[in-house]
Amino acid sequence: MDKILVHGGKILEGDVRIGGSKNSALPILAATLLTKEKCVIDRVPDLSDIHYMLTILSSLGAEVERASGVVQIRAEKIITEAPYEIVRKMRASVCILGPLLGREKSAKVSLPGGCVIGDRPIDLHLKGFEALGAKVTVKGGDIFLHADKLKGARINLRGRHGPTVLGTGNIMMAAVLAEGTTVIEGAAEEPEVVDLARFLTAMGARISGAGTQHIEIEGVAELHGANHTVIPDRIEAGTFLVAGAIAGTRVTITRTEPEHLGAVIHALKEAGFNLSHTSDTVTISPNGARKPLHLETIPYPGFPTDMQAQFCAMLATMNGTSVVTETVFPQRFMHVAELKRMGANIELIDHHATIHGVERLSGAPVMASDLRASAALVLAALPADGVTEINRVYHIDRGYEAIDEKLNGLGAHIERVKAK
């Protein structure tokens, strides 16, 4: 098992290229199960979560070829059962349910695993499948789906903490081959949902309204193969912008979509940083007037929960008192204890973190608890005194492609070593 050593105090400057979106690529890869024809997906990031998804697709009978960020998949003959040994490592494996149900009208998939960031139920997914006409049974840790046929329905996917992104994608993928028209109310508006809809449309699906809370899907008899390029990863982009804020003089992220980063860019400007952008780049630099923030995570286009931990790391060394409220995953504060080991002054009450900025953090041994928490610890370590040892970095490899190499390219000093 690897660990990362971050030697603090280095100044970041330069350009860094953003990879394809993990959260977009995973359901798009799953959607290739909807056709017997070959699909070609470009700009697929080299991440452990992507590897798990390709393993799942292969286990279901799909032919998978991968080279230099391009994945070719032909799912001519597939089976409909994915056991726990295959899906246990990744929560996003649940997004194979929609394609299997849509194409084969049957699926048996074990309840998935993934990050430990609180309760993340899939009840809205199952509710949507039932509305389309599927019989849903959960037994012995397995989900069983079966339908004689699927029929369009009106489905509301808004949950207690907002819309479900994976759920919206799952229902879209099941509904594209259903009879009649499906209307999803309370749909997630994230760019990843729009990207999935673009791919499904390229396959022959009829979808309107993606990117709004009201999506309409007119079912078709079959889908065909298609080529598609995955959108840039807005969370990786945001993470490198925060790296530039924490330890940079000028950092430019390239091959990105600035319009997907609106809430993050706004928050960084509110914190006192200079930001400028072109059609596919964003540059951040300090202006000497850093200010505390009051942030609240809300579904897109609001401030993303997947950037909450990284901002906590940044705010830990900014003058004044900041307050961060987590409304999407209220228990998603496991990074706070590790930041406090580095000297951060943070009070955590329920889903509110009050952060009193300190002058500097100090390197310490810390433990990554989930994907975004691990990124936050790397960011916090960049300007810290001494060396920070980050353990369980397999979490970070789930969602960041060569983050250590990219940061070193900007001037950081990071080593990846084998844990004893």
Residues designated catalytic:
115
Q: Contact at 8 Å (CB) between 187 and 163?
A: yes
The sign of the torsion formed by the CA atoms of 410, 412, 418, 419 equals negative
The sign of the torsion formed by the CA atoms of 82, 87, 93, 94 equals positive
Count Cα neighbours of 28 within 13 Å in the Cβ-side half-sphere. Answer: 36
DSSP letter for each residue of 73-92: EE-SS---EE-HHHHTT-GG
Q: CB under 8 Å to 37, separation ≥6 — which residues? A: 74, 224, 225
Return the C-alpha torsion angle 279, 284, 285, 289, nearest 10.
Answer: 120
Query: How is residue 148 written in tokens?
Result: 């004689």
Exposure of 325 by Cβ count < 10 A (0-12 exposed, 13-18 middle, 19+ buried)?
Answer: middle
- How far is C-alpha 230 from the geometric centre of its chain's CA atoms? 13
What is the spatial distance between Cα 28 and Cα 199, in angstroms, rounded to a whole number? 7
Question: 265 in helix, strand or coil?
Answer: helix
What are the residues facing 357 on neighbouring strands? Answer: none
Q: CB under 8 Å to 33, separation ≥6 — which residues? A: 57, 60, 62, 75, 78, 96, 99, 100, 103
Q: Contact at 8 Å (CB) between 177 and 170?
A: no
What are the residues facing 417 on neighbouring strands? Answer: 3
Tokens 């330069």 found at: 14
Q: Contact at 8 Å (CB) between 214 and 186?
A: no
